[in-house]
Amino acid sequence: MKKILVTGAAGFIGFHLSRRFLMAGYSVIGVDNLNDYYDVNLKKARLNLLQDNHDFHFIKIDITERENMASLFKKEAPAIVVHMAAQAGVRYSLVNPHAYLESNLAGFLNILEGCRHQKCEHLVFASSSSVYGANTEMPFSVHHNVDHPVSLYAATKKANELMAHAYASLYKLPCTGLRFFTVYGPWGRPDMALFLFTRAILEDRPIDVYNAGKMQRDFTYIDDIAEGVFRVTGRIPEPDAKWQGDKPDPATSFAPYKIYNIGNNRPVELLDFINIIEKVLGKKARMNLLPMQPGDVPITFADIDDLMKDVSFKPATSVEDGVRRFIEWYRDYYKV
């Protein structure tokens, strides 16, 4: 039974990934600091489900704690690390930028150092579609240059990719970065659109709709994300013999390093997304139309050709099905 370390295991994506790895027979060490960025009780409820499985072991720890993380890696000696812990959210990065420096940069360095010293087989880490920033060529490809982030959150995620590449080059640590596109579904984060909209509509409150709802997002259902990560984790990257320094491909390298997009490959306009929520709830939304917010981009659209080619996977859950499943979970969890 191979041991895998999942950081952010009480978080939205980390929780679902932990369940997917447990289902496949892995021994999962889940770590999380259980911070109060959002409802801690939701995180604890996720953990309670994971702890029903005897192959899951939870350790409360903050990835920014250098010595504690070093001790954790030495004691547990994971074969694989799936790093999902981070300070998330574009808009919150405008309010509390230092949280992103501490968790997403210093914390990630502790992960890299742990993997390096324990000679882990594979580090898989969460990046984000936000790294595409000011890019306008669609769909967003991992082979495009991404040097123009429009939020600090995006900049820290791009920095993670660069830091991982450095360790892949220096220490031959196999690293795979995954750019997630607008993940949603049951057990989701309360600060994300679907959760906010559902709660407000049920409570007869207006919803804030930015850019008059004209934004498009490549909404990706959580089970598709979990399956994509699971498959990629089993594919350890190798140096690309065709990589050229005079024409550098950002998605591959002379080092054991790879980047993938995981997205639904089908952008949906925000107003259409809201319409789907209304239909499932059987209730109309009152909309407070607002301008585009700093750090936001008008559209995200994932090119997933590399994902399909390398691990034979393409997200397939429709937004209609995904929203319905989320709302069923929400009504059951909150008894509304």
Q: Which residue is associated with the tokens 């000011």?
A: 134
Whether 8 and 84 have beta carbons less than 8 Å apart is answered as: yes
Q: Which residues are catalytic?
A: 153
Dig out the tokens for 129 from the structure: 């579609």
